[in-house]
Structure 1
Amino acid sequence: MGCCVSTSSRSTCSSGSNGDTVTPSCLELGFCGPNRASRTFSDHVISLRQLPSLPNRIVNNGKSRSSCIFTQQGRKGVNQDAMIVWEDFMSEDTIFCGVFDGHGPHGHLVARKARDVLPLKLLSSLHSCESKRNRSGKAGFKENIKLDNGESDKDISAQDEPNLIWREAFLKAYHAMDKELRSHRNLDCFCSGSTAVTIVKQGSNLFMGSIGDSRAIMGSKDSNDSMLAIQLTVDLKPDLPREAERIKRCKGRVFALQDEPEVHRVWLPFDDAPGLAMARAFGDFCLKEYGVISIPEFYHQVLTDGDQFIVIASDGVWDVLSNEEVVEIVSSAPTRSSAARIVVASAAREWKLKYPTSKMDDCAVVCLFLDGKMDSESDCDEQCFSSATIQSNHSGNPVESDDVQKSEPSLRRNYTVRTSEENVTDGGLSVDAGDGISSAEEQNWSGLEGVTRVNSLVQLPRFSEERPNALL
């Protein structure tokens, strides 16, 4: 499948293909920690098909030793959100977690692909960066970082070096992920894409990469033992000055529609499409020549004793709940293992209250508790809550499926949707048995399908015969 990852910890060194001994590097040791179980990159590899069998990797509603995750389908069709928590990611005190929010006709497939492949790309990139450092020495590695990022890294200390290696690894991994999507034979990403917020917790360090408008926050106690909400990532929207400037330099256009003046979108230079509501994303190759990029914003944070938990969620949550509200919900949850699903349930209630004429967006939440502890909860309670949530909201299930939800009853329109004459019927989209979506001939795919508030895409572009090579 083109991706592999080391999972065995049976030895502290291994033999390469040429018989040479490979010494464990800071990739395996995580830059410190003599008590950590070390792993070498070539100890044992698994393919993407073997990922579901990994005991410390969860992608469906549930909990792990230190986290809980939950997603619920909205009322717009197939659930396009994906999430992951991977404990013992490359050593015993390293955790990878992330949320991916797809958009466009194949957005759910892009999100799942990124969820499965990006962690492996990150491991591979870390191994590559560490090998480069060992070959070139510290001075050479500093110069490589400067060339790759276009930034000046002066007077790099020993404490800064891990940060630089992780930053380089995130940049390489995101680039490789987008490159694989572009060349994928069976997945059309021309007008489909996904956000990504990914975090690696390694000891007291957080290394984060983000594209799109999903968000990560942290709940932390101050000196007075009061809970604070700390936003860890920036929502990369087209109206951010630096993002808008880049897009305009690439001849893309940024403006808001008259009926949704608060939502700035990215448009092709020659067509009022696709109207992407984010400045960075995986996929969306129709806009990659016009300013939309997949280069992540990289963040590094050192945890303190007051830091309690991290919440990563798709914009279906942040559209209706503030950072402070989410921190309050998680900190007051009756059990830690129920925190993620209570956040989703709270978001669902707020959607009904704040946007009663709109279709609720998909919601995905990852809650990571930084002390590494998780309380117990009976399987019966888990099942009862999940069933009640699904039945009461008529929405998605914890089992991945590409089936499109049955059409919703007609709802009263709100201010931000098209008139009935402009709407596209539900019959224009269907999911086939081969993990793909087909659209009816001569129909536009519309992100404002039905009754919605804000969608990531407005519609797919149409290219006239006069511009057959417009995007080549």
Structure 2
Amino acid sequence: MGSCLSSGNQSSCNGGSNGEGVFESCLGIGVCGRIERNRTFSDHVFSLQHLNSVPNRLVYNGKTSNSCIFTQQGRKGINQDAMVVWEDFISDGAIFCGVFDGHGPHGHVVARKVRDVLPRKLVSFWQSSQSKRDRSDRTSCLAWSRKNSADGEGQDIDGSQEDRSSYLWRRTFLKSYKAMDKELKSDPKLDCFCSGCTAITLVKQGSDLFVGSIGDSRAILGSKDSSDSLVATQLTVDLKPDLPREAERIKKCKGRVFALHDEPEVPRVWLPFDNAPGLAMARAFGDFCLKDYGVISIPEFSHRVLTDNDLFVVLASDGVWDVLSNDEVVEIVYSALTRSLAARMVVDLAARQWKLKYPTSKMDDCAVVCLFLDGKMDSESENEEQASSATLESNQMSNTECSDEEQRSGEPSLQRNYTVRSSEEKDRIGGLYSHREENEESMSAEDENWLGLEGVTRVNSLVQLPRFS
């Protein structure tokens, strides 16, 4: 997990292995215990042009049968956050969720492309891994059968079902993220030299939760403990440049890590020969100006087996975590008036906190995905459903009009940190959530850490390249 990827071929500064493979165990003499999976629409290759017509896939503000999602543009220019929930992903009942936080002049385009392409790569690599495992299982079972059929006794091949599943998904995430970064670099229509995006992605398959992440977006789990108290568990690590392992890798690759005087709590990655570009994360898609200097796109992977005490998962960009704690977010989601409004309530409270904590700073874009693990949403009447989702539906209609091609043609300037959105906000209702209209939602967000900026307005890059996060 610690190798450096150059902007061309992979080079190793701090190499490590991804682990050894394990095989499916045999349940009896000559009988292999393989998992049969249901083939669904995800087994077919969908072109990017047809993704919007894929069933059970949501990328705009709204809700599904298991989740709700919401994003709001900040005050730094175009919204560079993107998000997706894809139900019945790979197999019946499997769910994919993701939040992607763009940065740099073309960050909104990068985030959107990763949102659309990365899930398809996960499908492809997972199916390939499954096929290879099935062939290996048949070979292993035949050898096992010949060896043990004489005495009628046998033993399981090393590795539990949980270990094998985790291993396959780890390889799938690693290969998919690597292929995604390679595709961004080879795209002739997309300039990712000083633009990129973070990613927090999750696959729920039965009671298994597989999470892959790069950058500083975050996933948390809301659960009940033995005393029936609400508990927040952080599932990912914010991959900031000042983490010891991240800083060590970057420095070995000749990159530099330091914070500026006007933002002492925001460590950034800099080129060895220039005070640019100032990336506020250690891992990201794109950002090829820094890929030779320690910034990588290799994800951190984790596997968790869910229990009946686990209630929901929240994925959010750093615009939320800069002003709200894990416990606060879990409490908001759990106490939401309706589950379909949970994501919006988190974003609205984050917007309030930005005004209170950093009144002279520009609010970052915020995106939230709430996945409810019991598979249930609200038991509301039709009238209540229509009332709670009326604004969300209008946002979706306006957002579908904005295509990626239109976003490319309307590139933001390098001075985007100084762009302030004209206010569309209304007065808040009920304290925790508001019904502000959302324009430009489908254009997503720049990831910028402002933890040390009380009373401070950011300056632009020290040199010709923009400082971004």
Note if 1:194 corresponds to 2:167: no
Tell me which of 396, 405, 408 is aligned to 1:435.
408
> Does the 8 Å CA contact 2:38/2:92 hold for their aligned counterparts?
yes
The 5 A counterparts of 1:43-442 are 44-137=44-137, 155-375=158-378, 376=380, 377-384=384-391, 399=399, 433=406, 435-436=408-409, 438=411
Deviations 1:416-435 (Å, cap 9, x if unpaired)? xxxxxxxxxxxxxxx99462
Q: What's the C-alpha RMSD, in Å, of the aligned pairs?
A: 3.1
Q: 1:398 to 1:99 in 2, by over 3 A?
A: farther
> Does the 8 Å CA contact 1:81/1:111 hold for their aligned counterparts?
yes
Deviations 1:340-380 (Å, cap 9, x if unpaired)? 00000000100111111111110000000000001144223
Q: CA deviation at 1:48?
A: 1.4
Tell me which of 440, 450, 453 is aligned to 1:454.
450
Q: CA deviation at 1:185?
A: 1.2
In the aligned structure 2, how far is the partner of 1:118 from the partner of 1:320?
29
In the aligned structure 1, how far is the partner of 2:410 from the partner of 2:193?
13
In the aligned structure 2, how far is the partner of 1:296 from the partner of 1:46?
25
State the SS of the aligned residue for 1:187. Answer: coil
In the aligned structure 1, how far is the partner of 2:362 from the partner of 2:46?
40
1:4 counterpart residue number: none
Aligned pairs, how many?
382
What is the letter of the counterpart of residue 281 of structure 1? A
Q: CA deviation at 1:166?
A: 0.3
In the aligned structure 1, how far is the partner of 2:34 from the partner of 2:226?
29
Q: CA deviation at 1:136?
A: 4.3
In the aligned structure 2, how far is the partner of 1:127 from the partner of 1:106?
32
In the aligned structure 2, how far is the partner of 1:129 from the partner of 1:201?
18
Q: CA deviation at 1:119?
A: 0.2
Q: CA deviation at 1:32?
A: 7.8
State the SS of the aligned residue for 2:399. Answer: coil
What is the letter of the counterpart of residue 83 of structure 1? M
In the aligned structure 1, how far is the partner of 2:169 from the partner of 2:189?
31
Q: Percent identity?
A: 65
Is 105-114 or 447-456 further displaced after alignment?
A: 447-456
Deviations 1:70-113 (Å, cap 9, x if unpaired)? 00001111110000000000112100001000000000000000
TM normalised by structure 2 equals 0.75
In the aligned structure 2, how far is the partner of 1:325 from the partner of 1:172?
35
What is the letter of the counterpart of residue 383 of structure 1? A
1:415 counterpart residue number: none
What is the letter of the counterpart of residue 380 of structure 1? A
> Does the 8 Å CA contact 2:40/2:92 hold for their aligned counterparts?
no
> Does the 8 Å CA contact 1:105/1:437 hold for their aligned counterparts?
no
Is 124-133 or 109-118 further displaced after alignment?
A: 124-133
What is the letter of the counterpart of residue 189 of structure 1? C
Q: Flag structure 1 segments of 5+ consecutive residues without an equivalent.
A: 1-24, 26-30, 141-153, 391-395, 404-430, 464-472
Q: CA deviation at 1:131?
A: 2.5
> Does the 8 Å CA contact 1:73/1:397 hold for their aligned counterparts?
no
In the aligned structure 1, how far is the partner of 2:79 from the partner of 2:407?
17
Q: CA deviation at 1:177?
A: 0.5
Q: CA deviation at 1:192?
A: 0.4
Q: 1:33 to 1:255 in 2, by over 3 A?
A: same
Q: 1:157 to 1:187 in 2, by over 3 A?
A: same
What is the letter of the counterpart of residue 180 of structure 1? E
> Does the 8 Å CA contact 1:99/1:313 hold for their aligned counterparts?
yes
In the aligned structure 1, how far is the partner of 2:249 from the partner of 2:139?
32
What is the letter of the counterpart of residue 382 of structure 1? S
In the aligned structure 2, how far is the partner of 1:448 from the partner of 1:114?
23
Q: CA deviation at 1:383?
A: 2.1
> Does the 8 Å CA contact 1:61/1:398 hold for their aligned counterparts?
no
Q: CA deviation at 1:127?
A: 1.5
The structure, 1 or 2, with the larger RCO (C-alpha pairs under 8 Å, 6+ apart) is: 2
In the aligned structure 1, how far is the partner of 2:375 from the partner of 2:295?
37
Q: CA deviation at 1:157?
A: 3.4
What is the letter of the counterpart of residue 77 of structure 2? G
State the SS of the aligned residue for 1:195. Answer: strand
Q: 1:234 to 1:222 in 2, by over 3 A?
A: same
Q: CA deviation at 1:400?
A: 5.5
What is the letter of the counterpart of residue 266 of structure 1? V
State the SS of the aligned residue for 1:197. Answer: strand
